């Protein structure tokens, strides 16, 4: 299992979101500790080891 570190600024932004959206994002972040590269990831061009994850 991996550790997930979240910056204070990101925590504040997450807290400012509507609860249902914040919960979905928090769940996705928690799932990254188990599987850091889920099937729906996309590598970002111009970066090394940086990925985008889509969640509906």
Q: What local confidence, expressed as pLDDT, does residue 1 receive?
A: 83
Instruction: Assess whether pLDDT exceeds 90 at residue 53.
Output: no
What's the token pair of residue 28?
């996705």
pTM over 0.85: no
Predicted confidence band of residue 26 (pLDDT cuts 50, 70, 90): very high
Give residue 45's pLDDT: 95
Which pLDDT tens digit goes with each residue over 28-40?
999 989 998 888 8
> Given a cut of 80, is residue 56 above it in pLDDT?
no
Q: Which residues contact 50 (CB under 8 A, 6 or more apart)?
A: 43, 44
Cα 34 to Cα 2, 24, 29, distances in angstroms: 6, 16, 10
Instruction: Provide the token pair at 11.
Output: 């925590």
Whether residue 18 is predicted with pLDDT greater than 90 in this model: the reply is yes
Hey, where are the domains in the chain?
Answer: 8-53
């Amino acid at each position: 299992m991996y550790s997930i570190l979240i910056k204070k600024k990101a925590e504040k932004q997450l807290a400012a979101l509507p609860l249902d959206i914040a919960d979905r994002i928090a769940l996705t972040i928690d799932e990254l500790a188990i599987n850091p590269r889920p099937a729906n990831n996309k590598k970002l061009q111009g970066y090394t080891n940086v990925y985008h994850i889509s969640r509906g």
